[in-house]
Amino acid sequence: MEFVYGILKTHNKVQMLMTKLSIVVPIYNERHFFQSFWNSLIETPISLIGSIQQVEIIIINDGSTDGILSEIDLKAKEVSLFDNTPVSLIVLNNSTNMGKGFSVRKGIDQSSGDYVIILDSDTEYSPKEIPHMLLPIIEHGADAVIGNRFIGPVVRVLYFWNSFANSILNLFCNILNNLRLGDFCSGYKAFRGDLIRNIKLTSNRFGIEAEIVSRLAQAQARIYEIPIEYNGRKYSEGKKIRALDGLLFFWHIVRYSVIDREPFKPGLFQTLTALEKVSNHIYLPLLNKAMEQAINKNNNLKILEVGSGIGSLTKELVKHGDVVATDISDSYVSILKTKFSKYTGFEAIQWDASLKPNFMSEKFDMIVSFNVLEHIQDDNKTMKIWADMLKPNGALIVLVPYSPQLFCPIDEAVGHFRRYTKKSLSNLFNQSGVSIRKVFFGNSIGTIGWIISGVIMQKSRLSTGQLKLYSLMKPFIKPVEKVLENYIGLSLIIVGQNPNNDL
């Protein structure tokens, strides 16, 4: 009864938020189990999670030789609705057996859901647990959920030595990743879609389970673990993991926990996550410096944050008034809602900042945009839209990357159209009718690391290690940077205001 109540509570809470679920199903020679698996899948009570309006099932046939592809093709013709929820079926085929990890990675890359579930089709795991697996993500803000096979309500009793080996592997994994998981090898996992699609995965075979958990730990993801029903198979019944695979798990754990510790693919998500960890030292001081030029501290401001990302600076802005945090990504907006829902006057809205807004009831005292304008092709038109959203006494704070000479593969990876000069950014302010109050540089010594990594070495990834080192150095190099920032910096900041009024 408690489980059902939890699901119904979630339904009432989020039924107005339309979301999509992707179910990734790797298959290899499981024709004898497929009909039972499919029947259980289409009977799954997806509608109990009222927010899910669409489901995609992604089946990856990993070079099967038992005729299962004909079974899958039959199901593709039957798919229309299940549990009153629209569903689409995507079938991907590997020409040869590439391994579970390869198939899982292929399915994740193909997925487009707000939530992604990895589910084996061998009937050891029940599809009816799907609402149970999603509950911590939807209701508690989890990033990932792992189903624990050994504490479930119904567990088939199998071999002692298998369980003993699993417990040793689990302890080893927990020690190296500083976790407290009970079943990292579980094949039943659920994720926020944007997170798992940006996780760097390389394993082709069963090492994928160790890699996923290690990557989640390195990303400091919020991991939940819940009991699931498990009907384990014997080797005589077709179980595929062998003793050698168990021994290899030790290597996989060491490899992904100690040797290769970069959790994300190159790109905007990796950059945002890396910067969030050091934003208190790198961007927050620049925000505070800019706001000193723009704030009447006696006012409770109405603030618009453009391109809030995952909320690195939002945590400071909410101290100064009512904040409307915006981002072009629905996934980031969901993260913002989870992080800041407790703040009175806070609102998170999906918005393409290059377009006129449809959410304004009144104009803003302040608009803050950090590292957004360089992502927009028509920055001139965009600045005019932002200027029109300001109150007569409003302030506009814009931070952009400085110097076209520093443009490198990192800029390309995160989607930058350009880097700015003082003149080019000042012209945008002037053309939009916003007068310039203050221009200054930021993070001047960080330019050295950028030149080495991005310009000289042509790397496309923002180094987490370099950022941490720079962040630790900040208090000690502050006097030097204060002088250098009169002439150069990695970032350029302009504080502007509507004319004819003093701030």
CATH code for the domain in which residue 315 is found: 3.40.50.150
| Contact in structure between 138 and 226 (CB atoms under 8 Å) | no
Domain stop point among 209, 234, 259: 234
Residue 253 lies in a domain: no
Supply φ then ψ for residue 363, to 5 degrees.
-80, 175
- List the 223-227 sheet strands across, edge first: 81-82, 85-94, 52-62, 19-27, 115-118, 189-192, 144-148, 223-227
Q: What is the pLDDT of residue 34?
A: 86
Strands (E), 28-148: 52-62, 81-82, 85-94, 115-118, 144-148
Q: What is the pLDDT of residue 8?
A: 35
Residue 260 lies in a domain: no
Q: Which two tokens stand for residue 134?
A: 């999603």
| Contact in structure between 120 and 101 (CB atoms under 8 Å) | no
Residues 229 and 285 in one domain: no
Sole residue written with tokens 């699931």:
228
What is the tally of structural domains in the chain? 2
Residues 294 and 230 in one domain: no
- pTM across the whole model: 0.75
Supply φ then ψ for residue 485, to 5 degrees.
-70, -5
Q: What is the pLDDT of residue 498?
A: 86
Residues 291 and 226 in one domain: no
Distance of alpha carbon 84 from alpha carbon 456, whole angstroms: 56
Q: What is the pLDDT of residue 10?
A: 37
Residues 228 and 308 in one domain: no
Domain assignment of residue 115, given as a range: 2-158+185-196+222-234
Residues 272 and 135 in one domain: no
Q: For the segment 19-66, what is each residue's pLDDT rounded down to a tens digit?
A: 899 999 999 988 888 888 888 888 888 888 878 889 999 999 999 998
DSSP assignment letter at 219: T
Residues with Cβ within 8 Å of residue 109, at least 6 apart in sequence: 197
Distance of alpha carbon 110 from alpha carbon 120, whole angstroms: 17
Distance of alpha carbon 203 from alpha carbon 458, whole angstroms: 26
Q: What is the pLDDT of residue 249?
A: 84
Write down the mean pLDDT value for the chain. Answer: 87
Among candidates 397, 437, 218, which has minimal Cα distance to 313? Answer: 397
Neighbours of 374 (CB within 10 A): 19
Distance of alpha carbon 442 from alpha carbon 401, whole angstroms: 10
3-class secondary structure per residue, 73-101: HHHHHHCCEECCEEEEEEEEEECCCCCHH
CATH code of residue 75:
3.90.550.10
Residues 227 and 335 in one domain: no
- The segments of the chain whose pLDDT lies below 50 read 1-16, 502-503
Distance of alpha carbon 265 from alpha carbon 109, whole angstroms: 12
Residues 292 and 428 in one domain: yes
Residue 137 lies in a domain: yes
| Contact in structure between 331 and 192 (CB atoms under 8 Å) | yes
Residues 10 and 70 in one domain: yes
Residues with Cβ within 8 Å of residue 400, at least 6 apart in sequence: 371, 373, 374, 419, 420, 425, 491, 492
Q: For the segment 388-425, what is each residue's pLDDT rounded down to a tens digit?
A: 999 998 999 999 999 999 999 999 989 999 999 999 99
Q: What is the pLDDT of residue 328?
A: 92
Q: What is the pLDDT of residue 420?
A: 98
Residue 503 lies in a domain: no
Residues 395 and 342 in one domain: yes
Residue 171 lies in a domain: no
Among candidates 428, 429, 440, 419, which has minimal Cα distance to 493? Answer: 440
Chain centroid to Cα 409, Å, comes to 21
